[in-house]
Amino acid sequence: MNKDFFQMHLAESVVLSSRNRKKIGEVMELLAPWEIQVQGVSEFESIRDVAETGSTFAENADLKATTVARQLHRWTIAEDSGLCVPALGHAPGVYSARYAGEPSNDQRNNTKLLAEMSSLQGDDRAAYYVCHAVLSDPAGQIRVRVEGRCWGRILTQPSGDHGFGYDPLFLVPEYHLTFGQLAPAVKRHISHRARAFEQFIPQMIAVLQPH
């Protein structure tokens, strides 16, 4: 597959339907080896926030991608991701970013999660991050849909300053470190988002590459 086709056949960059700067940065880094240019939706003043009214990560990703694609008439990537704790009925789930209410606040979300899990021990502290990523064509049709997961466990107190969201609480057993402690370069290879985009990128290339 030839990286040059992006410059030859995509006159415009691909839009990422997200306003989260850290999330945009992670996605840009994942796509950088393919020289795929990405613009965050915040660069377009006419686009308002898309209401995440779906009951699943898949539904929210579809909503964010198709809504923006139809308004801008551009290829659009969207992803919805979050933390799930099976012992809490898979909460916070789709409410991960606003678990402690609006406006979204990582510290308050972490504090609430620790309180909800205060009586849980051992295997009951197992958790996984999930990322559902999609690609919409300019007409608003989903052309690629993938999901990636990364399993770990929730600590009783935060550790590390890297990442965002619940990263300082999420221990990756293979490394004995939290996402908040792991170097960003390592996280880019093992995270739920990395695993999703490992599947996503080849499929996106196949869709965009001229036949």
Residue positions forming the annotated binding site for substrate: 18-23, 81, 164-167, 187, 192-193
Provide the residue type at 165 as one letter. G
Handedness of CA 192, 22, 95, 179 (dihedral sign): positive
Residue 80 falls in the annotated catalytic set: yes
CA torsion 3-32-79-175 (nearest 10°) is 120
If you write DSSP's letter for every residue of 181-204 in order, what string do you get? Answer: TS-HHHHHHHSHHHHHHHHHHHHH
Helix (H) and strand (E) counts in the chain: 6, 8
Indicate the DSSP class of residue 44. -
Residues comprising the binding site for Mg(2+)?
Answer: 80
Cis peptide leading into residue 92 (ω within 30°): yes
Catalytic residue among 80, 106, 123, 137: 80
Collect all residues with Cβ–Cβ distance below 8 Å to 98 and sequence separation of at least 6: 104, 109
Indicate the DSSP class of residue 15. E
> For residues 21 and 29, is the Cβ–Cβ distance under 8 A?
no
Give catalytic residue positions.
80
